[in-house]
Chains A and B, each alone.
Chain A
Amino acid sequence: MREHDALENNPQVSLKALEALHGQLFGWALSRCGYDEAVAEDLMQQAYVEVLSGRARFDNKSTLKTFVFGIVQNLARSQFRQMAVRLRLIRTYTFPGGDQHSCTDHADHSEQQLIWKAVESLPQRQRDITELVFCRDMTIEEASKVMGITVGTGRVHYDRAKKSLADALAELRQKESNL
């Protein structure tokens, strides 16, 4: 099936479908590069180049969302790894002592921010699968595909993340009830 706004080198991908995913993809790109807007935009641009050139080809084996999220994940893993390390180093020396990992304003410790902080304190893969499944409405299978891991491994990370979050939330509730 070829749509009228399908891409030349990726006939299964339509521009409108990509545009619909743009906001979510930006959120995912942000979390891939330490919430740096400029790097996230570069990452998305590079992902679109991959789709445009046909180097990444969509063959309807997964959803388009899984496909583009996977491209961003792979690009972030390969090209932006060194950049992220450099950015982290710059931030460490430019703003010493500050938690620069998130764009959240930690001066205001509302409950929701504390919960999100608990998510961010999870190990990388647990954090990724939590974000993909809970916040991006993906199934564990889709999330595992994006992360480039097997479904079994994905389930293990998901279960561990859930347990850690349940503990963290219980602890938060406990603190609230004590206050």
Chain B
Amino acid sequence: MSDNDIREVVKDAHGAVQRPEPPAFDRVWSAAESQHLIERRRYATFSGIAAALAMVAIVAGLWSSQEAGMSDDYLIADSLLNTTQWSAPSDALMPTHEFDIYQEIPFLMESTDLEEGTLL
């Protein structure tokens, strides 16, 4: 059986089988259009809500950073220059103290005895 024979036979069989009539194009198309419109509206609504939420988050972030900024301690140059004392705004900012054995040990030792002419 040739290709064309098979094609003809199958095509005839396909045509002979009873199938439902297609629905009217206009009906399906208008249903698709209204679905598309609903989807667009839904998308616009969600986008609007997302944009509003983003705005709220940004405003809240800015407001809270302003709040935090108000409580920060700033160094004022004039007052710093007019005094001989200064303390760091926070211990956390200070470097870790490292013991300097050559500079600090002699003062820590309380002995006044001389050892071979040298203060211990």
Which residues of A line the B interface, CB within 8 A?
15, 18-19, 22-23, 26-27, 30, 35, 37, 41, 44-46, 48-49, 52-53, 102-105, 110, 112-113, 115-116, 119, 130-131, 133-135, 162, 165-166, 169-170
Contact = CB atoms under 8 A, between A and B. Distances in A.
B97 interface: no
B13 A105 contact: no
B98 to A, nearest CB: 65
B10 A166 contact: no
Interface string B1-44: 10100110111111111111011010011011101100110000
B117 to A, nearest CB: 96
16 contacts: A19-B29, A23-B22, A48-B28, A52-B32, A53-B36, A103-B18, A104-B18, A105-B18, A112-B12, A116-B14, A116-B17, A130-B10, A135-B10, A165-B10, A166-B6, A169-B9
Contact of A169 (B1, B23, B33): B1
Contacts of B33: 52
Contacts of A112: 12-13, 16-17
Interface of B: 1, 3, 6-7, 9-20, 22-23, 25, 28-29, 31-33, 35-36, 39-40
The 6 closest A-B pairs by CB, nearest first: A48-B32, A26-B22, A115-B13, A112-B16, A112-B13, A135-B14
A45 B35 contact: yes
A130 B10 CA distance: 8
Of the candidates B12, B15, B22, the one having the most CB atoms from chain A within 10 angstroms of its own CB is B22
Contacts of B11: 134-135
B35 A49 contact: yes
Contacts of A162: 3, 6
A121 B28 CA distance: 31
A134 B20 contact: no
B32 A27 contact: no
Contacts of A119: 10, 13-14
Given A103-B20, A169-B1, A116 B13 contact: yes
A67 B34 CA distance: 22
